[in-house]
Structure 1
Amino acid sequence: MALQQVSILLIEDDEDDAFLIKDYLSDIHNFEIKLDWEPDYNKGKEKILNGSFDLFLIDFYLGKETGLNLIDFIQKQGVFTPAILLTGRNDSQIDIDASTAGAFDYLVKGDLTPDILERSIRYSIRQGETIRELDEKEKRYRSLFERSFDSIFLANIRLEFLEQNESFLNLFGFQEGELNRFELQKLFADSDDYDFCISQLKEHGVIKDFEVRLVTKPGEEKICLFNCIFIPDQEDENCCYQGIIRDLTLSKKAEADMMMAEKLSMTGKLARTIAHEIRNPLTNLNLALDSLQDEVNQSDETLSTYTQIIQRSSNRIESLIGDLLSSSKPKELQLELVSLDVIVEEVMTLVQDRAKLKDIRIEQSLEKGLPRLYVDTEKLSIALVNIFINGIEAIEHSDGLLQVSVSSRQNSIFLQIADNGGGIAKEDLKKIFDPFFTQKSNGTGLGLTSTLNILSSHNALIEVKSTVGKGTVFEIEFPLPEM
């Protein structure tokens, strides 16, 4: 069986000691040892960096320098070859200093024997291999941590951030060092969601694939998939939780856009079907009513009243059919290049009187100098008036407030209309753009359907957030035209 080959660099400035160590090494029969002796400290440093060795044997005293300095140099250069410190005297402090500096073993020359030296070589080489393997794994996992497209973080027992990768910083808009001891809770848009996460972590030690809204440093909300696990085998508080966050915002927005498009398409088909099925009997009804009016005695007040009721109801049905078709069919736009803030100001002028009647304040924050958009001013104004009026009518208390803002982010212009009215229940929020859905006693439920149709024709995206008792926010995103 072939012996393990071991290449050793001996750095020893005493020739007699070097001879003795060579002699001890020659008596070791379980390794095939190749020895390189170097008496000079500086040349020894060069060989450490440029040579290929399995082990360093280093004397404690090396002229003006010490072996501890050399071992410290090895550590700072990131060399993982094990080093054994040799000394002429048995001193417990030297033993401690050698271990602290990074020596794998500490041997007293006067106590050396081939067996002791062989044991130390075997132990040091084995430990060196283990450390190299751990270092390779650490580098591999560190690379996965740093290069991951997902946001990864480590947090202590109080869920304060200890470390996070570049993807995390980019997602939430932070700079390196800004998140030191930053609390995870501050990223959650809803405190109830955070409380749920904490309860799951305490009860199960893990929370998996939890869809949640998180807030970036600039205040933008992101829809994220949140995963976190408790690490119970840590000796201190410095690493108790590991989390992975995946940004779903774009995919969710695309999913919502597709659902909106499908809803509009289905609404259009439904509207055309209803119009066809109702207009035929309605036409017959109107013809019959005309014939009836010719036959009956018009001086009979009762009969005249009934025929008028029938006529008005028939006209109302015809009007509803027209509104339904208008709200659901694609709009033909007359596009022009206009600043959105100009349109918003005109719309606010149109609804100002209605707001004053209910003593509702309108606060505006319109960013000036924004890029202009290609829009149909008349149709977009109709859509925005619908949203403004909905906000005004949702406010039933004396401290009414409508907040309007226009701003730019990335490659879009955002219009936000927020009221402090009664809000919309979660189960109703998904229905507000459906035809005929309304909570008003005299409403047709087609206003927001038409609004959605107009905005979709402009390739604009709309998102509605609402909290019962606090109010509703409509946010509309207008993508800027590509240059």
Structure 2
Amino acid sequence: MTDLPVHILMIDDDEDDFYLVSQLLQDISPGQYQLDWAPTYSKALEEIDRKEHDIYLVDYRLGPYTGIDILHHFQQLQFNAPVIMLTGKGDYTIDKEAMQAGASDYLVKGEISADLLERSIRYALDEAHHLRIIEEKEKKYFSVFEKAHDLIILADCNKNIIDANPSAIRSLQYSKDEILQLNLRQLFFQEEQSKHFFDHICGEDSSLQTEYNFLTKEGKKLDVLVSAVTLDEEEQVFLCVVQDITERKREELEKQQQQKFVITGRIARVIAHEVRNPLTNILLAVSQFKGEPVSVEESQVYVDIIERNCTRINQLITELLHSTRMIELNIRPHGINELTDKALVLAQDRLQLNEIKVQKDYVKPDVMIPADDEKIAIALLNIIINGIEAMTPGKGLLTIRTERQKDKAIIMITDNGPGIPEDTRARLFDPFFTNKPKGTGLGLTSTQNIIMNHKGTIHVESEIDNGSTFTIVLPVNL
């Protein structure tokens, strides 16, 4: 109980009963309770309207009125204060009616003791406190439900929509009555998507977060991200929070298209630069043939120039095609430690020449993956060479770590070089992008292509002055 006195209003037209209850409260704990009296129905309503009391003791019989009338007044006011009904002995019908009308408890006059009264008041106040907490939470969550920008839908595993918030109704272009008549599968653009959704949410997972396509009443397709979770496993009721990502997907597509144009433009500029020089040499040689007659010896010089520069152009185009096209793979089981060691052997001369130390932290036993060992070795070699060239000779440390995470094999190659600036990191795998004076900019593009052909991924993390780490993730089973 609180240190402050509990304010009690007793509504009873019998002053003797008021006196007896007052004495009982004093016996319980002097000063803990402050009891006020409303001897008439009108006085009771006046006091109730002030809402100044913590709990109310109400006699069932109040002249022409009853305690049930008092309870109805509480309901009209939407005032959820605890009420204890005082009834006569044996009035079980009245007791039941009082509880149905909202009374917290009932006490039989003539049987009230100090302990019984104290316990009834304490329980009623505790119950009222808990109900207020629940009510506040309900208001809070109802406010979230009503005001959320995301679409919120309640449904069951019979695929019936139980409820939907205003955002869902507005975005899906249905009225509230219409959407409550819908089967949830009607919102999915494709039947396979609805089957996938219900197989997961009504299966063992009981939660998911997946992108789908919804269909509005007007037939407009929406790209949505659905986060769903089962709320009541017994009733099989689940909550769907749906983000409309249509605009975001459109912007991402536009960005991807813009990036393609940027990359295409960059490739075109590099090719133009790389091809223009040999073409210039070819044209100069051709112009010599068109001019004054030349000797056989001079002709051979010009022919050699044309052949050499044509070979250079052909080599450039071949490298570009090899770095980006789908490649044929000779897939066999190989260990990731075995593949990494093979790449290190190929890089051995460069490692020794630059006095680079190698530290290996391999998973045991080796993780077998389906791979073309020649292609993967080349991919890893390109990363190792980049790391060697980034580090200071005699001070370099190349750390290679392998591990397994569920159905994925991981290879991490770390150097202690100067790190890669963020703007460079974003373009690292672009064709013809290089910071090396004599580099073609196709090494990492080729590496990425090989890894992608193996259904894997590659990404780089780097911090200025703290080196870089390339992480290759490959599936254990294709």
The residue aligned with 2:24 is 24
Shift of 1:110: 2.2
The residue aligned with 1:306 is none
Shift of 1:2: 8.4
The residue aligned with 2:307 is none
Aligned residues: 294
CA contact (8 A) 1:207 1:227 kept: yes
* Superimposed CA distance per residue, residues 22-79 of structure 1 (whole angstroms, 9 cap, x where no aligned partner): 3333322276111110122133123112131111001111222211121122134222
The residue aligned with 2:175 is 175
**Aligned pairs (5 A) from 1:86-101:** 86-101=86-101
Q: State, as a whole percentage, how many aligned pairs show the same letter.
A: 34
- Between 1:34-43 and 1:279-288, the stretch displaced more is 279-288
* Superimposed CA distance per residue, residues 400-448 of structure 1 (whole angstroms, 9 cap, x where no aligned partner): xxxxxxxxxxxxxxxxxxxxxxxxxxxxxxxxxxxxxxxxxxxxxxxxx
The residue aligned with 2:241 is 244
CA contact (8 A) 1:85 1:105 kept: yes
Shift of 1:184: 1.2
CA distance in 2, matches of 1:157, 1:76: 38
**Aligned pairs (5 A) from 1:96-107:** 96-107=96-107
CA distance in 2, matches of 1:109, 1:116: 11
The residue aligned with 1:259 is 256
CA contact (8 A) 1:223 1:247 kept: yes
Change (3 A) 1:84 1:232: same
CA distance in 2, matches of 1:198, 1:43: 60
* Superimposed CA distance per residue, residues 326-361 of structure 1 (whole angstroms, 9 cap, x where no aligned partner): xxxxxxxxxxxxxxxxxxxxxxxxxxxxxxxxxxxx
Change (3 A) 1:141 1:2: closer
CA distance in 2, matches of 1:64, 1:158: 53
CA contact (8 A) 2:172 2:216 kept: yes
CA distance in 2, matches of 1:177, 1:101: 31
CA distance in 1, matches of 2:74, 2:133: 18
The residue aligned with 1:218 is 218
Q: What is the one-letter code of the residue matched to 2:82? A: P
Change (3 A) 1:270 1:98: same
Shift of 1:233: 4.9
CA distance in 2, matches of 1:205, 1:94: 50
CA contact (8 A) 2:152 2:165 kept: yes
CA distance in 2, matches of 1:2, 1:248: 51
CA distance in 2, matches of 1:233, 1:5: 45
SS of structure 2 residue aligned to 1:107: strand
CA contact (8 A) 1:9 1:55 kept: yes
Shift of 1:288: 5.3
Shift of 1:94: 1.4
Shift of 1:90: 1.8
CA contact (8 A) 1:150 1:168 kept: yes
Return the TM-score normalized by structure 1: 0.55
Shift of 1:144: 2.1
The residue aligned with 2:120 is 120
CA distance in 2, matches of 1:233, 1:201: 10
CA distance in 2, matches of 1:8, 1:58: 10
CA contact (8 A) 1:3 1:31 kept: no
Q: What is the one-letter code of the residue matched to 1:160? A: N
CA distance in 2, matches of 1:289, 1:35: 117
SS of structure 2 residue aligned to 1:96: helix
The residue aligned with 1:34 is 34
Q: What is the one-letter code of the residue matched to 1:190? A: Q
* Superimposed CA distance per residue, residues 138-179 of structure 1 (whole angstroms, 9 cap, x where no aligned partner): 222222222222221211331311122222222222233322
CA contact (8 A) 2:188 2:214 kept: yes
CA contact (8 A) 1:159 1:241 kept: no
**Aligned pairs (5 A) from 1:61-460:** 61-234=61-234, 237=235, 240-274=237-271, 284=282
* Superimposed CA distance per residue, residues 76-132 of structure 1 (whole angstroms, 9 cap, x where no aligned partner): 422221000011232221121111111010111122222221221111111111111
SS of structure 2 residue aligned to 1:69: helix
The residue aligned with 2:421 is none
Shift of 1:210: 0.3
CA distance in 2, matches of 1:11, 1:207: 53
Q: Which runs of 5+ in 2 are unaligned?
A: 294-478
Shift of 1:6: 1.0
Shift of 1:180: 1.4
Shift of 1:276: 6.0
CA distance in 2, matches of 1:202, 1:147: 28
Q: What is the one-letter code of the residue matched to 1:15? A: E
* Superimposed CA distance per residue, residues 190-211 of structure 1 (whole angstroms, 9 cap, x where no aligned partner): 1111111111123334343201
SS of structure 2 residue aligned to 1:204: coil
CA distance in 1, matches of 2:40, 2:159: 53
The residue aligned with 2:59 is 59
Q: What is the one-letter code of the residue matched to 1:100? A: Q
Q: What is the one-letter code of the residue matched to 2:61? A: Y
Q: What is the one-letter code of the residue matched to 1:184? A: L
CA contact (8 A) 2:157 2:237 kept: yes
Change (3 A) 1:206 1:290: farther
* Superimposed CA distance per residue, residues 216-238 of structure 1 (whole angstroms, 9 cap, x where no aligned partner): 2222111111011122355xx4x
SS of structure 2 residue aligned to 1:27: helix
Change (3 A) 1:27 1:276: closer
CA contact (8 A) 1:6 1:31 kept: no
SS of structure 2 residue aligned to 1:85: strand
Change (3 A) 1:185 1:250: same
Change (3 A) 1:184 1:53: same
SS of structure 2 residue aligned to 1:203: coil
SS of structure 1 residue aligned to 2:52: coil
SS of structure 1 residue aligned to 2:97: helix
